[in-house]
Every structure is written in structure tokens, then in C-alpha cells.
Amino acid sequence: EDQVTQSPEALRLQEGESSSLNCSYTVSGLRGLFWYRQDPGKGPEFLFTLYSAGEEKEKERLKATLTKKESFLHITAPKPEDSATYLCAVGTNFGNEKLTFGTGTRLTIIP
């Protein structure tokens, strides 16, 4: 069974304090790993797709990386508007073209 585990569950940072969120996965045949941002009361918003180990993607203060067992979302010099829940999901090969989601990391950036 596909599994996605995110850590930590919650993270509080001072504005400007860089850190990383972790997403570890166990799947049979990874087709893609996805990062989403979710603000309270809203639907998830797509951030990145990573397809193979060693791949990296960047967007503003966010950088996502992928290894064979995990992905990291690095946040550099965060601002209060980066506060949100960050979700990781994996897509796998066979049959149902579904995404398996982790439970997310709730990030709070303190001014």
C-alpha cells in the first residue's frame, strides 16, 4: 500500500528563519511527487511536480527536491504570507490514476 508521511506536523518559524519540510514515501512505482499549499478554508493550490530523483524545482522562496525515498520543501527567508499547510502527494503507476496525500505540515511564520 502506498504511504506518504510528512514531518513535522506543525512548524513555527520567525520571519526570515529558513527551514525544510519533509515528505517521505513508500510506493510501488513513483510517477510523480507533488507539493501543494493549502490556506485555511480553501482548496489546495498546486506548487510543484517532481518526477525523478535528483530533480529540483524553485518558486520564489520555495525549493523542492526529490530523492528515491523522500522530498524536501526548503523555505528560504520566509515571510508571514508563507504561513499555510503544505501537502505532499504521490502519483503511482498502476490502474487508478490517483494521488495519495500526506496529512500536511502546518507552517506558521511569526513576524
Partner 1 sequence: EAQVTQNPRYLITVTGKKLTVTCSQNMNHEYMSWYRQDPGLGLRQIYYSMNVEVTDKGDVPEGYKVSRKEKRNFPLILESPSPNQTSLYFCASRRDRVYNEQFFGPGTRLTVL
User: Residue 77 and residue 96: Cα distance in Å, rounded?
Assistant: 39
Cβ 49 to partner 1 shortest distance, Å:
7
Q: Which of 32, 53, 83, 108 binds partner 1 (CB under 8 A)?
A: 32
Q: Which of 23, 62, 75, 99 binds partner 1 (CB under 8 A)?
A: 99
Q: Which of 23, 35, 62, 104 binds partner 1 (CB under 8 A)?
A: 104
DSSP conformation letters of 25-46:
EE-SSEEEEEEEEE-TTS--EE
Q: Which of 26, 46, 67, 69 binds partner 1 (CB under 8 A)?
A: 46
Cβ 109 to partner 1 shortest distance, Å:
22
Classify strands 10-14 and 105-110 as parallel, antiparallel or unpaired.
Answer: parallel
C-alpha cell at 98: 490517483
User: Residue 49 and residue 56: Cα distance in Å, rounded?
Assistant: 9
Applying CB under 8 A, which residues contact partner 1?
4, 31-32, 34, 36, 41-46, 49, 87, 89, 91, 96-99, 101-104
